[in-house]
Amino acid sequence: MLVPHEIAKIFQSQRDRLRNADEPHMMRPKKDRKVLKGLARSIYLNKNAKLSKAEALASSGFVSKVKIQEKKEKKDEKA
């Protein structure tokens, strides 16, 4: 009985994150929030940052450097 509930909870969480990223006007409290795009969207959907911090984190240079380094490391492992 616990396993189906946990699975449903995981999928509900993913649906909530997608809705928050795509339709921020549906959230409460309503704020003037833009739709997340690009790196900010992927950061938020991967649970690496909260919705309120995703855009600021994506626009900072730190995250882009980390993503580039991860890609290089993966390519080196395959070779």
- Reported in sequence order, the residue ranges of 1-79 that DSSP labels E, i.e. its strands, are none
Number of domains in the chain: 1
Take residue 51 and report the two structure tokens written for it. 């919705």
Q: Tell me, what's the pLDDT at 24?
A: 77
Q: What is the pLDDT along the chain (79 residues), one digit of tens a residue?
A: 578 888 888 888 888 888 888 887 777 666 677 788 888 888 888 888 888 888 888 888 776 556 555 555 666 666 5
Cα–chain center distance at 15: 12
* C-alpha–C-alpha distance, residues 38 and 54, integer Å: 11
Q: Tell me, what's the pLDDT at 29?
A: 64
On whether the CB atoms of residues 70 and 48 are closer than 8 A, the answer is no
Residue 56 structural domain: 2-78
Burial of 36 (0-12, 13-18, 19+ CB in 10 A): buried
